[in-house]
Structure 1
Amino acid sequence: MIFSDADPSKISRSELTFNALKTIAEHPFLGNFASHELGAYSHNLLSAWVDFGVFGFFYVLFLVAIPLFIILLNIRNNLNQIYILAVSSLMALVIAYALAKTYNYSMLAVALAYYGIWVSTEKGRLNNEKK
């Protein structure tokens, strides 16, 4: 039943995604904030485009993609706890934005905080090595 075409959740998510794409087509640049009924929003990152337009969508996307890209480029054999927290929270955020509801936007602050801690400890480690 989960993967069947008769699954009510799958049908509902498909309708919400279709409505989001329709709204994006009608208001691509500025979006149409709160144009949907309560709870009837696209349950993925498309909801950012619906509410905030293309600029808001790319802003949220880059807030996650750039730190994730930078941190994945700095992978080493000696992984510390802060690095693991930063990578795992950013990866979980990417998955949540692709598949989950928009309440995961609050997780952005946590993921960026871990990334910021990693950056500050990495800079401190590099400064200590140069002495």
Structure 2
Amino acid sequence: MSNIHDKAQELKRTLAESEEFSTLKSLHEQIAADEVANKMLENFRQLQLDLQQKQMQGIQITEEEAQKAQQQFELVQQHDLISKLMEAEQRLSVIIGDVNKIITEPLEEIYGNPDQQ
């Protein structure tokens, strides 16, 4: 079992040393140092979280809330640093999704692939 944990630790180090992670970390630091960008991002993330919590509770999101979220998204996308951060987050998310798919392939042999059902 420890061999699996050793490989996981190695994968963690590889991810932390990757260009994608370095880019993401640098952008986070730049945004933290930019008061306007930091506040914009915090407001946007809070709005996202609030809407997700509503959905999880089965509460219908109003048209007004959806429009507000869309406007906030368009606003943060116009900020160069935030836009780059979101792109970097997406790239890293794809990598993590790919890794997750790879490491769960042996389970698909037993349980099947839920995406194909």
TM-score, normalised via structure 1 length? 0.33
User: TM-score scaled by structure 2?
Assistant: 0.36
Higher helix share: 2
